[in-house]
Amino acid sequence: MFKINKICLGVVALSFMFVSTAIYAGDIRVGITMRMVSENGQKYGQMMMDEIDIINKSGGINGNNIVATLMNDECKSDKGVANANKLVSQKKVHLVIGSTCSSVTLPIVAVTAKAKVPQIIPHSTNAKITKLGSDWIFRVPVSGRFYAGVNAKYVGENIGMRIAYICAADAASQNDCQAMQGQMRSQHGAEPVYVAEVQEKEVDFRTHMQKIKTSNVDGIMIAALAETMARALIQSYEAGMDESVRRIGSSSASNAPVPKIAGDAAKNVFFAAAYAAADKRPIARLFNEMVRERYGIHAPDHDFSQAYDLIRIVEIALNNAKLKLTNSSLADDRVAIRNAIAGIRNYQGLASGPISFCRDSSPVCRDGNRTAVLIGYTKGGEQFETEVLARVTMPMDFGL
């Protein structure tokens, strides 16, 4: 159940509970590894810790406290793997949360699978994550396989078939770019007009933009992390491409740095995400207000909403799991938590559609959120504004 009364409690001080190496019976130990190199990234982690603190102050889980360890992996796979190994082997966590970046989450899956520790993912969208077949992972965000289908349908019906692609090297962007091209082929028989493979933190796109400008395209998809995407958007206008060439973002277009950095260049950019701050539901309005008051964020992106939904799902699962929480019951408790997460059905929270899991280790059971929201920026800058274009729930087996 979405605990909207907790949102109204006001500001809760951040409690970074970096636990000692001692292992205490009776505690539920949770390890979190995330990308916290930006202001928003730090606040995603802060919000998770704040929500865990609220749970503990409200009586915990059946009288037991959650002891959380929050670590920064900087979106680097080696750091993420090191964090996961430390959390699993030294901290003896019952549950791993992470990561933000798909390129970090992918190798962590092998760590948690080998150690038989449940892992729940807050932000990573790369479809390969759940295709690995681990019995221990669950994904709260919408998988890239669903985003691609929604984007391609909208583009083919509303924009056109001549699409250029700027594809950054990070795992999520690569997946988004390739999946979009595949869906444009399968749905519309449309081949890409131009494809540019660029580095993750590329700063100069002008040569690519000049070539795209002369190719008479209907749209350009920019699949990259937020800061890189913003630079590419600005340079597309500097190259002389006007608004008639529609800009299509990967899901990271939902992150606030895109409109803040891109300014006017963000206007009319559209993208598929899991949550829109423009959502008119009472639950969304209250969440937006909470994020503004606690963290000073003008409009929360879907990484805020997904982090919040994840903690609520974890809370439900932990309350449902029959945990012994002794020093000798760690393996059994990890299994109980995994099974309890797998038992989540039709969770209704901030996501635009229900989130459900099941016991099988296939993507059908572990990609819990199938509802994407098509969102467009109507204004860029610090006080950016968005609108909801459509909501689409995809079949469970889409893209498999």
61: left (phi over 0), alpha (psi -120 to 50) or beta: beta
Contact 181, 195 (CB under 8 A): yes
Q: How far, CA to CA in Å, does 347 sit from each of 189, 276, 350, 384? A: 37, 18, 10, 30
- This prediction has a pTM of 0.85
What would the mean pLDDT of 19-39 be, rounded to a whole number?
Answer: 77
What would the mean pLDDT of 39-67 be, rounded to a whole number?
Answer: 95
User: Per-residue pLDDT for 39 more than 90?
Assistant: no
The β-bridge partners of 353 are: none
In the structure, what pLDDT confidence band is assigned to residue 40 with cuts at 50, 70 and 90? Answer: confident
User: Per-residue pLDDT for 140 more than 90?
Assistant: yes
Q: To which CATH superfamily is domain 145-278+373-393 assigned?
A: Response regulator (3.40.50.2300)
Q: How far, CA to CA in Å, does 51 sit from each of 46, 90, 297, 389? A: 9, 24, 17, 31
Q: What is the CA radius of gyration of the chain?
A: 21
Q: To which CATH superfamily is domain 4-143+280-370 assigned?
A: Response regulator (3.40.50.2300)
Domain ranges of the chain: 4-143+280-370, 145-278+373-393
Quickly list DSSP for 296-339. --SS--HHHHHHHHHHHHHHHHHHHS----STT-HHHHHHHHHH
Phi, psi of 133, rounded to the nearest 5 degrees: 80, 20
User: Per-residue pLDDT for 16 more than 80?
Assistant: no
Compare 376 and 172 and report the one with higher pLDDT.
376
351 CB neighbour count, 10 Å cutoff:
24
User: Per-residue pLDDT for 41 more than 90?
Assistant: no
Contact 11, 47 (CB under 8 A): no
| Poorest-pLDDT segment among 51-55, 251-255, 336-340, 380-384 | 251-255
Closest to 104 in 3D by CA, of 121, 91, 87, 86: 121
The pLDDT value recorded for residue 25 is 65
Write the pLDDT tens digit of every residue in 86-121: 999 999 999 999 999 999 999 999 999 999 999 999
- Sorted by sequence, the CB contacts under 8 Å of residue 203 that are 6+ apart come out as 231
Do 4-143+280-370 and 145-278+373-393 share a fold?
yes
Percentage of the residues of the chain whose pLDDT score is greater than 90: 83
Write the pLDDT tens digit of every residue in 341-400: 999 999 999 999 999 999 999 999 999 999 999 999 999 999 999 999 989 999 999 989
